[in-house]
Amino acid sequence: MNTTTPFWRDKRIKPILLQLLFVIIIGIAMFYFINNALTGLKRMGLSLSYSFLNSTASFDISGDKLIEYSATDKYSRAILVGFLNTLRVAILGIIFATIIGVILGIARLSNNWLARNTSKVFVEIFRNTPLLVQMIIWYSAVFLTLPLIGDNYNFANAIFLSNRGIAIPWFKPIDITWIWLSFIVLGIIGAVFTWKWKIKQQVETGKRKYPSIWVFGTLLLSIIFPFVVTQSGPFTLSIPEINPNGRSFVGGFVISPSFGAVLLALVMYTSAFIAEIVRSGIMGVNKGQVEAAQSLGLKSSTMLRLVIFPQAYRIMIPPMTSQYLNLTKNSSLAVAVGYPELVSVGNTILNQSGRAIQMITIMIICYLTFSLITSLLMNIFNKYTQLVER
Amino acid sequence: MNREQVETNLPILPPPKEKVTFFQWLKDNLFSSWYNTLFTIALSILLFSIIKGTLTWIFIDADWSIVTSNFKILMSGQYPAVQLWRVWLCIVLLASLLGFSSGIWNGTITHLSIFLGSLLFISGILPFVSLETRIWTFIGLAILIVGHFIGKKIPIKKTILIGWFLLFPIAIFFINGFGVLPKVGTNLWGGFLLTILLATVAIVCSFPIGVLLALGRRSKLPTIKYFCIFYIEFIRGIPLITILFVSSIMLPLFLGQGVELNNILRAMIGLTLFNAAYLAENVRGGLQAIPRGQYEASHALGLSSPLMTCFIILPQALRSVIPAMVGQFIAIFKDTTLVTIIGIIDILGMAKNVAQNPQFLGQQMEVFLFVAVVFFLFCYALSYTSRRIEKSLGVGER
């Protein structure tokens, strides 16, 4: 018998042929699309260069700006303003969403019926309605329906609620702030070492050494000491006032309606998801661990801190990372309420200059950078908490 | 000796029944310790004021005329009123399929049909809907109930399954018309109808792409594997809104002058490409959960790779990721609201438009809250279903 396999069924050649076919198909498709795009751009008289970033933006960004910006600045600076705004809302959002999410998640496992069910209802409501709808409700139905700045609601002439934003008293750094800060940083470092030292003593001797009282003392010292040295507080308090022209606030910290709406919506929405992650993380810890901890006579707070949480972290970190990434990506919805973040600024530039491909590339690169940095940090944290196996 | 006697003489008692009186329950669940008591009291005062405020607002202060007089356009947008029977026919078809299936399988699907039934009933008795709507909702409700009882008697499983597969193409045919019926182009689709269609198109069309991407990501051929990894990670790294911008601004550029696509079709393409990447990750999870033995067994039986994938691997993989895919459906359903930003009038876009009407000044809260409630009902029903499926598959318990 002389049966030779045809060469395309050869186990060594088949994969190469398949891949070649795949590359050719993808290549033709790409060529078609790019060719179309290039001819289209040529027809419209646009180029693919990024030199437009250096020309004058000639549009103003109203409201939130972390750096100085005016209409005479360049496009690149406008993009930087947007980038920083995204960063601000994402970082604040992640911090608040984590705090509220953890509280809600623990409340869902509480033995108090009321707390358990309140948390459940909260989570279900905020998880099952679209973020954009929530954001628009906060913006146009809550923040913008606050009274005009002239007849604002105010509490003790220090906190103002109006449709121009919410103004609250804020700390204003003075020239000795850095002395205070450095003492407090030193105090925190000292407290960590004291804690470790006292815990070590407690483990070695088996006697109670009251580590938390020591830590408290160290921290107290780091506050008393700079007070004695500088004879003044760390900050002066800046209390908001209404501008004489009656259209804005002076001093304090002003939360603009769009920023408030974006932050509140992102925090509420994401914390509902985080609550579920925390709950499943805690429930994912082996029941035997809890029983063993109880039989060793640990208090419930100690058990939570030393036995349950270190194991729950491991389950919680990967889904937490994706929630943080989602929050960052979702901050792009702020374009709908006029908060000048990356997509909103990018969209304005895109409409004004027609450089669609360049602007979208810039946005994509920015978001991919956020994603990569967040996953990198979370991966480091993940490694740190992972089970050390023998 | 003595001890044994005692043991045999005693009847075996069941463990004592705990009598939980109302006060005992209160004590255990609300007032078990002093801080719990304090907490309960503080929380109840807070909740009482919130609920009281909300209820007074809903029933006394709020003016719902913005919703009642715009109900039709919020739900179906600019869809011509004379052609609305086509949409209703699709809903009746869905109701009959759900009714039959609930009669035959009688599990989670029954809960879904109860949901649809009560939705139809409630929209039928709303005081402000037209007579036509009332008639159609009650036809749908009747068919749902009749279907349930017929399904119980005659289990026509195959027909119903085929019906489910044909539902989507039939619905698209009826809603669009394609010239056979008077054509209602996608530019006339709007409101909640559009929201549902966008989500369904995105999930149905992205399903094959997602499965292929997931298989490709696990392929041994490096070019295919890295292409799929690049695609999935790239799409997952950027927000949906940029993809919608790309599809609405750049798609015409890429396709050249010959192809004309309207705004809604472009958004559908964007949503599909976006959803495919997320779906691929869900399917990959299912593929990874399949034990090696399944592969080895099918190789031992002499199945070729495509046959093995189609008949051994995919059925098991897809079955175990049903809950995750329902979750993805909920996510894309909520995300369709983003099309408002690129100027498509879905239910949220319609709500924004009517809120700007000077006739309904200051009623934004009412109309947006209505939109939120509509989404909540559907998403909650879906997530409830997904949890039940998860339980019945035993995915969570493994």
Tokens of B323: 């809950």
Range A293-300, long-range pairs (CB < 8 A, 24+ positions): none
Give the separation between CA A12 and CA A7, rounded to whole angstroms: 9
List Cβ neighbours of A62 (8 Å cut-off, separation of 6 or more): A338, A340
Amino acid A256: pLDDT: 84
Cα A158 to Cα A152, A154, A237, A247, distances in angstroms = 12, 7, 11, 17
Answer yes or no: do B256 and A36 touch at CB < 8 A: yes
Asked whether residue B373 falls in the same domain as residue B225, the answer is yes
Compute the nearest-CA separation of B9 from chain A (Å): 36
Chain centroid, CA B398 distance in Å: 25
Looking at the structure, tell me whether residues A160 and A260 fall in a common domain. yes
CA distance A75 to A57: 5
Looking at chain A, the number of H-run helices and the number of E-run strands are: 12, 8
CA distance A173 to A180: 10
Whether residue A322 has pLDDT greater than 80 = yes
Residues A143 and A96 occupy one common structural domain: yes
pLDDT the model gives residue B215: 92
Domain co-membership, B167 together with B130: yes
Residue A136 to residue B249, Cβ atoms within 8 A = no
- Which residues does chain B have within 8 Å of residue A34's beta carbon, measured at their own beta carbons? 254
B169 plus B232 within the same structural domain: no
How far does the CA of residue B82 sit from the closest CA of chain A (Å)? 31
For residue A140, the chain B residues in CB contact (below 8 A) are: 355, 364, 368
Cα–Cα distance between B87 and B176 in angstroms, integer? 10
Cα A333 to Cα A347: distance, rounded to the nearest angstrom: 12
Q: Are residues B136 and B243 in the same domain?
A: no
Instruction: Nearest by CB to B249, from A23, A343, A356: name it.
Output: A356
Q: Which of residues 353-382 of A touch B (CB under 8 A)?
A: 356-357, 360, 363-364, 367-368, 371-372
A159 and A249 both lie in a single domain: yes
Last residue of a domain, one of B130, B156, B184: B184
Average pLDDT of chain A, as a whole number: 83
Q: How many contacts (CB atoms, under 8 Å) link A and B?
A: 152
Nearest Cα residue to B293 out of B274, B310, B316: B316
What is d(CA A317, CA B224) in angstroms, rounded to the nearest whole number? 30
Residue A390 has pLDDT above 60, yes or no: no
- Between the alpha carbon of residue B289 and those of residues A315, B251, B276, B321, the distances in Å are 18, 37, 20, 10
From residue A364, give the alpha-carbon distance in Å to each of A312, A326, A359, B297, B365: 34, 15, 9, 44, 34
A332 to chain B, any CB pair closer than 8 A? The answer is yes
Q: Which residue of A has its CA nearest to B332?
A: A130
Can you point out the beta strands (E) in chain A? Answer: 153-155, 159-162, 165-168, 170-173, 235-238, 241-242, 249-250, 253-255
Same domain, A165 and A307: yes
Predicted local distance difference test score (pLDDT) of residue A103: 92
Question: Does residue A67 belong to the interface with chain B, where contact is any CB pair within 8 Å?
Answer: no
B contact test, residue of A116, A129, A163, A270 with most B CBs within 10 A: A129
Q: Which element (helix H / strand E) includes B371?
A: helix B364-393
> Does B29 contact A22 at a Cβ distance shorter than 8 Å?
no
pLDDT value at residue A304: 83
Contact A114 B365 (CB under 8 A): no
Provide the number of structural domains found in chain A. Answer: 2
Q: Which of B184, B212, B229 is the last residue of a domain?
A: B184
Give the Å distances, CA to CA, from B156 to B146, B169, B171. Answer: 14, 21, 22
Q: Name which of A19, A124, A356 is nearest B224 (Cβ-Cβ).
A: A19
**How far is residue A187's CA from residue A226's CA, in Å, rounded to a whole number?**
11
Half-sphere exposure of B118 (CA within 13 A, CB side): 8
Would A210 be classed as within a structural domain? Answer: no
Instruction: Choose the closest CB to B30 out of A22, A39, A114.
Output: A114
Q: Which residues of chain A lie closer than 8 angstroms to B32, CB-CB?
A: 111-112
* A335-350 pLDDT tens trace: 888 888 888 888 888 8
Measure CA of the first residue to CA of the last residue in chain A; give whole Å.
Answer: 58
Say whether both B126 and B198 belong to one domain. no
Domain assignment present for A123? yes
Task: Map tokens 């082996």 to a residue.
Answer: A286
User: A54 versus A319: which is more confidently predicted?
Assistant: A319
Q: Is the pLDDT confidence value at A29 over 80?
A: yes
pLDDT at B368: 92
User: What is the CA B250 to chain-centroid distance, rounded?
Assistant: 30
Handedness of CA A36, A42, A46, A50 (dihedral sign): positive
Same domain, A14 and A111: no
Q: Please tell me which residue, B277 or A373, carries the higher pLDDT value.
A: B277
Chain A residues in contact with B250 by the CB 8 A cut-off are 37, 356-357, 360
Q: Burial, B349: exposed, middle or buried (Cβ in 10 Å; 0-12, 13-18, 19+)?
A: buried
- Residues B368 and B350 reside in one and the same domain: yes
Residue B247 belongs to domain with CATH number: 1.10.3720.10
Find how far residue A190's CA is from the centre of its chain: 29
Nearest-by-CA chain B residue for A324: B237
Torsion of CA A181, A186, A189, A192, to 10 degrees: -100
**Chain B, window 246-305: residues with a beta carbon less than 8 angstroms from a chain A beta carbon:** 246, 249-250, 252-257
Chain A residues touching residue B220 (CB < 8 angstroms): 15
- Do A112 and B40 count as a contact with CB atoms less than 8 A apart? yes
Range of the domain at A348: 75-169+239-385
Beta bridge partners, A255, equal A166
What residues have CB less than 8 Å from A177, skipping those under 6 apart?
A: A234, A235
Q: Do B238 and A364 touch (CB under 8 A)?
A: yes
| Interface membership of A308 toward B (CB under 8 Å) | no
**Which of B225, B226, B338 should be substituted to probe chain A, the one whose Cβ sees the most A Cβ atoms within 10 Å?**
B338
Instruction: Work out the minimum CA distance from B171 to partner chain A, whole angstroms.
Output: 25
Contacts 24+ apart (CB under 8 A), B309-316: B309/B215, B313/B287, B314/B211, B316/B286, B316/B290
Determine the pLDDT at residue B335: 92
CA distance A2 to chain B (A): 22
Residue in A39, A115, A347 nearest the CB of B245: A347
Return residues 145-174 of A near B (CB < 8 Å). 145
What does the CA dihedral B190, B193, B194, B197 come to, rounded to 10 degrees? -160
- Could you tell me which residues are beta bridge partners of residue A166? A161, A255
User: A283: which chain B residues are within 8 Å (Cβ-Cβ)?
Assistant: none
pLDDT at A225 over 70: yes
**B223 and B289 belong to one structural domain:** yes
Of A26, A112, A347, nearest to B30 by CB-CB distance is A112
Q: Where are the beta strands (DSSP E) in chain B?
A: none
DSSP B11: P
Contact B383 A26 (CB under 8 A): no
Cβ pair A250, A151 in contact under 8 A? no
For B306, residues 6+ apart whose C-beta sits below 8 A from its C-beta are: none
Residue A247 lies inside a defined structural domain of this protein: yes
CA distances from B272 to A128, B42, B141, B337 (A): 21, 48, 32, 14
The residue type of A71 is: A
Domain edge (last residue) among B141, B166, B184: B184
Statement to judge: residues B117 and B263 lie in one domain: no
Contacts of A36 in chain B (CB under 8 A): 253-256
Euclidean distance between CA atoms B113 and A304, whole angstroms: 43
> Can you give the pTM of this predicted structure?
0.86
B255/A356 Cβ within 8 A: no
**B134-B140-B141-B144 Cα dihedral, nearest 10 degrees:** 180
On whether residue A145 sits in a domain, the answer given is yes
C-beta separation of B29 from B19 below 8 A? no
In this complex, do B253 and A36 lie within 8 Å of one another by their Cβ atoms?
yes
The number of helices, as runs of H, and strands, as runs of E, in chain B is 20, 0
Structure tokens at A247: 């259209």
Q: Are residues B206 and B340 in the same domain?
A: yes
pLDDT of residue A97: 95
- Residue-wise pLDDT tens digits, A67-96: 777 777 788 888 888 899 999 999 999 999
| Overall number of domains in chain B | 2
A113 close to B (CB below 8 A): yes
- The answer to whether B79 and B193 are in contact (CB under 8 A) is yes
- CB-CB: which of B239, B254, B255 is closest to A332? B239
Residue located via tokens 């992102």: A266
Q: Do A112 and B340 touch (CB under 8 A)?
A: no
Is B294 found in the same domain as B258? yes
For residue B52, tell me if it sits in a domain: no
Which residue has better confidence, A224 or A31?
Answer: A31
Question: What's the pLDDT band for A246 if we cut at 50, 70, 90?
Answer: low
Q: Which of residues 3-42 of A touch B (CB under 8 A)?
A: 15, 18-19, 22-23, 26, 33-34, 36-37, 39-41
| Cβ atoms of A327 and A270 closer than 8 Å | yes
Q: Which residues of chain B have pLDDT under 50?
A: 1, 395-398
Q: Which of A148, A66, A38 lies closest to A345, judged by CA? A: A66
Chain A residues inside the 8 Å CB shell of B39:
112, 115
B209 and B275 housed in the same domain: yes
Interacting residues of A268 by C-beta distance below 8 A, sequence separation 6+: A100, A126, A134
**Domain co-membership, A164 together with A16:** no
CA distance A176 to chain B (A): 41
In a domain, A141, yes or no: yes
Task: Classify residue B21 as exposed, middle or buried by CB count within 10 Å of its CB (0-12, 13-18, 19+).
Answer: exposed
Contact B237, A371 (CB under 8 A): yes
Give pLDDT, residue A2. Answer: 57
Rounded Cα distance between B124 and B303, Å, is 54
Residues linked to residue A155 through DSSP beta bridges, in sequence order: A159
Residue-range definition of the domain harbouring residue B86: 74-184
If asked whether residues A96 and A136 sit together in one domain, one would say yes
> Residue A223 domain-assigned?
no
Contact between residue B81 and residue B136 where contact means Cβ atoms under 8 Å apart: no
Mind listing the pLDDT tens digit for each residue in A124-183? 999 999 999 999 999 988 888 887 777 777 777 777 777 777 887 777 777 777 777 888
